[in-house]
């Protein structure tokens, strides 16, 4: 756990000047906010907003969300919902009306709209000048390089006329290239590995022709990918969770191991301090995920930033004293931050991804069988329709002994595949076993 000096200050006051308006996604009436309870507005109605709502309930807070439809993940469970678009200034004003703070489930809100809200007195956290570094990869790379943070060698190309700069860059780095769209993209989208220089040119030309500037980077020889998750309050208090390892498959995170196995104490501390320094230098308020590359020589380099709760922090819901969702709320409301210590020696998180073809067995029935076999599994489902590769939930498995890590990972993989496909990859027969506790995997 890493904390800066703790200073207390009164909580923020609501933003005045607008009547609260909302669209309720069902026949339920909006719930009246308890007198004095903070109201947090969140742009986005996905699973991150859904899990933030769970944390808000525990803290006696109220969460209002801006969702695109009434069947979005968070809109299913949150009574205070505005149906609208994150690119519409009037919809953003409606969700922010009367709120203590406006924060985010995703980073796709146009900067110019957020600047208008700030000018109108809305408390936006993280502020738009910070959020820009999670929206624009080239701006992020340039800023981090200026701050002396370790980053891969890169060049930015914003016009087709400048495509020849790619050839010059390739000659300088003499390494395979990665071509990324400067804006948008997640879970591997907007990131393409070039086979050679000609392929890199074709990829860049395709992006540029469609109006997307590109970031071209050297492709590093990697040992693995890591994530340093921190939180920062408006007053400058910071807290860091243990650094974790993220396991990627086809550009999508499938598993997180907390803490990262085999990471030296010095490297872990350096990653935490780097993340805390970037949060302070960029003016972040809320949770910041610093995605890191660990090169084969042990060097750590910054890959990307996310200024919101992050997939690499889902393990904190069961494996840490303070979850990332509670901490994000504490931070944006300028509460004292919570203890980030892990409560067990190791936690493994596995994402549940939609199968190529959804199984005939209902997800609820799959859950019954999972609990019969693995009653210690901690399941978090998002209420999302199953589609190929879509994140529909995650599981956490907590281990009392670090030497059990491989077994814990295998169990997490088994459980996630079962929830996705209704198939046990080890051949276990749930019909033959029934609910016999003697047959469950330990």
- CATH code of the domain in which 109 resides: 3.40.50.20
What does pLDDT average to over the chain? 90
Q: What residues are designated binding site for ATP?
A: 137, 180, 217-220, 225, 303-304
Last residue within a domain, chosen from 124, 141, 175: 124
Rounded to 5°, angle at Cα 362 from 361 and 363: 120
User: Are 226 and 183 found together in one domain?
Assistant: no
- Identify whether the C-beta of residue 306 lies closer than 8 Å to the C-beta of residue 288: yes
- At residue 268, the pLDDT reads 97
Q: Is residue 136 part of a domain?
A: no
Listed ranges 59-63, 162-166, 205-209; the one with the highest mean pLDDT:
59-63
Is residue 208 domain-shared with residue 247, that is, in the same domain? no
Asked if residue 358 and residue 325 are part of one domain, the reply reads: yes
DSSP string, 26-94: SSPPPPPPPTT--EEEEE--SHHHHHHHHHHHHTT-EEEEEESSTTSTTTTT-SEEEES-TT-HHHHHH
| Residue 360: domain span | 222-421
Using the predicted structure, report yes or no on whether residue 171 has a pLDDT greater than 70: yes
**Residue stretches of the annotated binding site:** 137, 180, 217-220, 225, 303-304
pLDDT at 360: 96
* pLDDT of res. 13: 33
Query: In the predicted model, is pLDDT for residue 415 greater than 90?
Result: yes
Q: Is residue 14 part of a domain?
A: no
174 falls in which pLDDT band (50, 70, 90)?
confident
Tell me: do 317 and 284 sit in the same domain: yes
What CATH number corresponds to the domain at position 358? 3.30.470.20
pLDDT score of 12: 34
In-domain check, residue 262: yes
Residue 430 pLDDT > 80: no
> Do 208 and 230 fall into the same domain?
no
Domain assignment of residue 134, yes or no: no
- Considering the domain architecture, whether residues 249 and 207 belong to the same structural domain is answered as no
Question: pLDDT tens across 299-354, in order?
Answer: 999 999 999 999 999 999 999 999 999 999 999 999 999 999 999 999 999 999 99
Closest by CA to 233, choosing from 269, 284, 278, is 284
Same domain for 239 and 213, yes or no, is no
pLDDT at 429 over 60: yes
Is 437's pLDDT higher than 50?
Answer: no
Q: Is the same domain home to 259 and 398?
A: yes
| Alpha-helix residue ranges (DSSP H) falling in 214-315 | 265-282
Residue 267: pLDDT band (50, 70, 90) is very high
User: Average pLDDT for residues 125-147, to the nearest whole number?
Assistant: 97
Same domain, 164 and 264: no
| pTM value surpassing 0.75 | yes
- Residues 189 and 270 both lie in one domain: no
HSE at residue 249, side-chain half, CA atoms within 13 A, is 9
Asked if the structure places residue 370 within a domain, the reply is yes
Give the separation between CA 320 and CA 393, rounded to whole angstroms: 19
CATH number at residue 195: 3.30.1490.20
Which region among 97-106, 189-198, 257-266, 361-370 has the lowest average model confidence (pLDDT)?
189-198
* Structure token pair of residue 37: 């309870």
Question: Does residue 131 form part of some domain?
Answer: no
* Residue 1 in domain: no
Strands in 194-282 per DSSP E: 214-218, 222-232, 238-240, 244-249, 252-258
pLDDT for res 11: 32
Same domain, 55 and 166: no
Please report the pLDDT score of residue 34 as a whole number.
57
Considering its fold, how many domains does the chain have in total? Answer: 3
User: How deeply is 412 buried, as exposed, middle or buried, from its count of CB atoms within 10 A (0-12, 13-18, 19+)?
Assistant: buried
* Each residue's pLDDT tens digit, 17-57: 333 333 334 333 334 455 678 999 999 999 999 999 999 99
In a domain, 28, yes or no: no
Percent pLDDT > 70 in the chain is 89
Range scoring the smallest mean pLDDT among 51-55, 66-70, 141-145, 202-206: 202-206
Looking at the structure, tell me whether residues 292 and 210 fall in a common domain.
Answer: no
Q: How confident is the model at residue 432 (pLDDT cuts 50, 70, 90)?
A: confident
E strand spans, 280-330 = 286-295, 300-306
């Amino acid at each position: 756990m890493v904390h800066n000096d703790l200073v207390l200050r009164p909580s923020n006051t609501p933003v005045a000047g607008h009547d609260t308006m909302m669209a309720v996604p069902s026949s339920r009436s909006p719930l009246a906010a308890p007198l004095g309870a903070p109201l947090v507005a969140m742009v986005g109605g996905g699973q991150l907003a859904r899990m933030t709502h769970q944390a808000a309930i525990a803290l006696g807070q109220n969460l209002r969300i801006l969702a695109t439809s009434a069947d979005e993940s968070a809109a299913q469970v949150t009574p205070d919902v505005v149906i609208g678009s994150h690119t519409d200034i009037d919809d953003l004003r409606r969700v922010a009306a009367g709120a203590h703070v406006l924060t985010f489930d995703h980073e796709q809100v146009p900067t110019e709209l957020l600047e208008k809200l700030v000018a109108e007195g809305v408390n936006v956290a993280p502020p738009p000048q910070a959020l820009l570094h999670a929206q624009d990869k080239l701006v992020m790379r340039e800023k981090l390089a200026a701050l002396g943070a370790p980053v891969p060698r890169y060049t930015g190309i914003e016009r087709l006329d400048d495509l020849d700069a790619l050839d010059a860059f390739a000659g300088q780095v003499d390494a395979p290239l990665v071509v990324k769209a400067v804006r948008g993209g997640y879970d591997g989208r907007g990131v393409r590995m070039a086979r050679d220089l000609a392929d890199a040119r074709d990829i860049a030309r395709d992006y540029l022709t469609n109006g997307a500037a590109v970031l071209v980077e050297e492709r590093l020889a990697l040992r693995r990918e890591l994530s340093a998750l921190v939180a920062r309050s408006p007053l400058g208090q910071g807290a860091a969770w243990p650094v974790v390892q993220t396991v990627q498959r086809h550009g999508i995170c499938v598993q997180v191991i907390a803490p990262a196995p085999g990471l030296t104490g010095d490297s872990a501390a350096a990653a935490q301090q780097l993340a805390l320094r970037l949060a302070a230098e960029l003016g972040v308020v809320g949770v910041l995920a610093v995605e890191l590359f660990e090169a084969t020589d042990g060097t750590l380099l910054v890959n990307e930033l996310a200024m919101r709760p992050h997939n690499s922090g889902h393990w904190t819901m069961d494996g840490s004293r303070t979850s990332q969702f509670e901490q994000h709320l504490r931070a944006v409301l300028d509460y004292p931050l919570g203890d980030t210590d892990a409560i067990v020696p190791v936690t493994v998180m596995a994402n549940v991804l939609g199968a190529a073809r959804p199984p005939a067995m209902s997800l609820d029935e799959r859950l019954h069988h999972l609990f019969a076999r693995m009653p210690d599994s901690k399941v978090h489902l998002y209420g999302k329709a199953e589609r190929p590769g879509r994140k529909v939930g995650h599981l956490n498995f907590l281990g009392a002994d670090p030497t059990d890590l491989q077994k814990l990972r295998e169990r997490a993989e088994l459980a996630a595949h079962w929830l996705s496909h209704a198939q046990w990859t080890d051949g276990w027969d749930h019909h033959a076993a029934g609910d016999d506790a003697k047959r469950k995997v330990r």
